[in-house]
Amino acid sequence: MPGVLKPSTPKAPASPDPSRGTTSEVRPEIQAMRAVAVALVVIFHLWPSSLPGGYVGVDVFFVISGFLITSHLLREADGSGRLSLLRFWARRARRLLPAALLVLLVCAIGVVTLIARVHWEQFLGEIRASTLYYENWFLADRAVDYWAQGDAASPVRHYWSLSVEEQFYLAWPVIIALAGLAARALRRTSLLRPIAAVALTAVTIGSFVIAIILTGDDPQPAYFNTFARAWEFGAGALLAFAGIRGRGLPARLRALVSWGGLAAIVIAGFVFTETTHFPGPPALLPVLGAVAVLWAGAPGSRISPMPVLRQRPMQFLGDISYSVYLWHWPLLIFLPYILTSASTTVIRLLVIVFVVLFGWLSKRFVEDPVRFSSAAVIRRPIGMLGLGAAAMACVLFVVGVARADLTRQINRSHAAEAAVVKKLPRCFGAGARDPLNTCTTPAMVKKVVPSPGSAAGEKNAPCRAPKLTGRVLTCRFGVPYAKAKRLVLLVGDSHASMFRATLEVVARKRAWAGISITHTGCAFSKAEKTLAPREQTICRQWRRQTQAWIAAHPEVSVVFVAGISGGDIIPTGSMSRQETAVEGYRAMWRALPAHVTDLVYLRDTPKASLSTLQCVEDALAAGKDPRSVCALPRAKVLGPDAGVEAVRREDNPRWRLVGVNDLLCDTSRCFTVIGGALVYKDGHHLTKVFATTLGPILDRRLAAIVRAWTPAAPLPPAA
């Protein structure tokens, strides 16, 4: 994540190919490739800076899957001219599901017993997606969702690649089966291979083109996209169709090719980084490396890599690679919760020890007993598929029970929130730190509204009367337009959206109609951020169209601007990032039409993290005061604000600045709970409840500014 993303964590976990055993021949070079690939993945997840491209293991496993599965399907089709899809899928279920579902069940129990409820919605959602094998699409969707940037890495995030493989196992046999039907319809069964090969070539080329386009557009969701990954399976499958394994060629040549393929894989692991566009053209290096090793086979030359690849530890690791992969990521996520006092180094070393142990135990007592069972219900396709479905239902039941419990807690939290907000006690929320009305809330010292678990899924203030025109989404707040004395505009990114709840209070008191035009991740500034090309284009369009909207609405004379401070600003010329951000605001605001006579910049708030929500939840569970236990160092969470500097540097009397950070922080700390109200709903967005309690104080601070505004002209009949 995101991942988690490319995920917000380093590249999301990669998956080994679980399709070994499709032939009676155990190929030592394939076992060794599995060992190398799973080692790359595990080391990458434990020490990402040491092996920044270790995620290429996924590409190797996808190639192996494509080769072995296609080889198996072609042998069956050649023998009978047709495929039994149910029998194939039952074999896959017998091979894949026992260990995978066991780990998912352990993860579900681990989430409920070890993880704070603030993460439950996300983690349980990913476990459900992994059980049903659509985790890659779940992550692809969140990769383009701004809120997901604060996601914690779930213990099943690595199942994304298993989901891609399962989707391949569902689709590819159908294509070969359809090729067989076409060949039989033409009464020439010998055409099965040519027809299937043409279809495979088209799919592989098309997928590679899709990968190039998507990674160039936005590499984060592309990383998880099945259609952008299919060409990697196709590369191995095409080799299976070609039927070439280097036999008959000089052993020395095959040995050199094998060494070259292994070198390509390892070099990619060391050279590639998180910013490498995957699965686009760079993925050719590990993919073709894997193809080369498969083509070379096990050459007997003196310079062959086989003496190394046949070593017992290498073959053993390749044999348990599927189970090692399944267990390593959950261990990495859960062990810090279990061994709270252990250092990071100790945790990582323990992961290595336990993953080998659990991998062997899982292979010995879970995978193999089911895989080689002689029980009739397991050997029959319908019976095995039924057992697999039942086991999946058990995992989903555990997830469903946990989600239902979370929903009940959220509903209770919402009821408590509504009761408090309805009364809005003077000392609740920001009122507890009002410098003109200092008070305390003894009854709320160890209570928090809303609860961290319910806040985690909360959206910003709801968008009333939404209207989308191009990229411009308008939302209304304040009093109805017909009763308004003035129309004000709130514009900016998601931090502007969070202030909508605050301005709602001000607007209703002053009889303003309000319109907000916000876009997640897009500041109302000409400064560019390091976004993916597609998101960069969208932000440019949004800014341009927002300016056009303002120009077309002369009834708007006042604009409130808010935005997240900091971020990855792209420096312009010799200017620093901060200087670029300041000048970006000034340039955008100067371009406002003449009828916008007044601008108010709402200073950005401190930035916390999701860990603060967990801190609050843990403090409440321990009966401690979260206000003191979970306070944050002011110097770390409240940095320079380019918008503030832009207002000060312009020295325009019509540009004004207003802030509320003295309510969130004292001279050394910033608080995550104030007056019984939870301040943050995620890493840095205010809860709607706390933002609402800021309203009366912000209104008071705006009083002098409002008096200096140009008098409002009568509003036209319609906005």
The tens digit of pLDDT for each residue in 74-108 reads 888 876 667 789 999 999 999 999 999 999 999 99
Residue 23 has pLDDT above 60, yes or no: no
- For the ranges 122-126, 355-359, 573-577, which has the lowest average pLDDT? 573-577
By residue count, the chain amounts to 719
Residue with tokens 């401190």: 606
How does pLDDT run across 703-718, given as a tens digit for each residue? Answer: 999 999 988 878 887 6
In a domain, 4, yes or no: no
pLDDT > 90? residue 28: yes
* 387 and 525 fall within a common domain: no
In the numeric block, which tokens belong to residue 213?
A: 């386009």
Residue 719, domain member (yes or no): no
Q: Do 512 and 590 sit in the same domain of this protein?
A: yes
Give the per-residue pLDDT at 645: 95
pLDDT of 340 strictly over 50: yes
Give yes or no for a contact between 599 and 654, defined as CB atoms under 8 angstroms apart: yes
Do 479 and 589 reside in the same domain of the chain? yes
Which pLDDT belongs to residue 698?
96
Q: What is the 3-state secondary structure (H, E, C) of 413-456?
A: HHHHHHHHHHHCCCCCHHHHHCCCCCCCCHHHCCCCECCHHHHC
Confidence of residue 192 (pLDDT cuts 50, 70, 90): confident
pLDDT surpassing 80 at residue 19: no
The whole-number pLDDT of residue 246 equals 59
Average predicted confidence (pLDDT) for the chain? 88
pLDDT at 387: 95
Averaged over 424-453, what is the pLDDT?
A: 77
pLDDT bracket for residue 33 (50, 70, 90): very high
Q: In this structure, are 161 and 80 located in the same domain?
A: yes
Of 34-43, 238-247, 383-392, the one with minimum mean pLDDT is 238-247
Note whether residue 88 is domain-resident. yes
Q: Is residue 688 part of a domain?
A: no
Do 163 and 88 sit in the same domain of this protein? Answer: yes
Q: Are residues 389 and 524 in the same domain?
A: no
The conformation of residue 260, written as its DSSP 8-state character, comes to: H
Grouping H, G, I as helix, E, B as strand and the rest as coil, residue 513 is strand
What is residue 20's predicted lDDT score, i.e. its pLDDT?
Answer: 42
**Predicted confidence band at 151 (pLDDT cuts at 50, 70, 90)?**
low
**Residue 424 maps to a domain:** no
User: What span, in angstroms and rounded, lies between the C-alpha atoms of 104 and 601?
Assistant: 48
114 located within any domain: yes
pLDDT at 4 over 60: no
Q: What is the pLDDT of residues 128-148, one digit of tens each?
A: 999 999 999 999 988 754 334
Residue 425 included in any domain: no
The mean pLDDT value for 616-633 works out to: 88
Q: For 404-411, what is the mean pLDDT?
A: 88
Contact in structure between 565 and 641 (CB atoms under 8 Å): yes
Displacement of CA 577 from its chain's centroid (Å): 26
Q: To which residue do tokens 């104030």 refer?
A: 674
Residues 367 and 485 in one domain: no
Do 162 and 253 share a domain, yes or no? Answer: yes
For Cα atoms 274, 276, 277, give the angle at the middle one, nearest 5 degrees: 120
| Distance in angstroms (rounded) separating the CA atoms of residues 630 and 669 | 10
Is 42 contained in some domain?
Answer: yes
Q: What is the pLDDT of residue 11?
A: 47
pTM: 0.84
| Number of domains the chain contains | 2
The continuous run of DSSP H or E covering 490 comes out as strand 486-492
Q: What is the pLDDT of residue 687?
A: 92
Tell me: do 181 and 69 sit in the same domain.
yes
My answer on whether 566 and 486 are in the same domain is yes
Contact between 192 and 163 under an 8 Å Cβ cutoff? The reply is no
For residue 375, what are the domain limits?
28-398
Q: Which of 563, 564, 595 is nearest to 710 (CA)?
A: 595
Residues 393 and 490 in one domain: no
Whole-angstrom distance, CA of residue 56 vs CA of residue 547: 44
Residues 461 and 318 in one domain: no
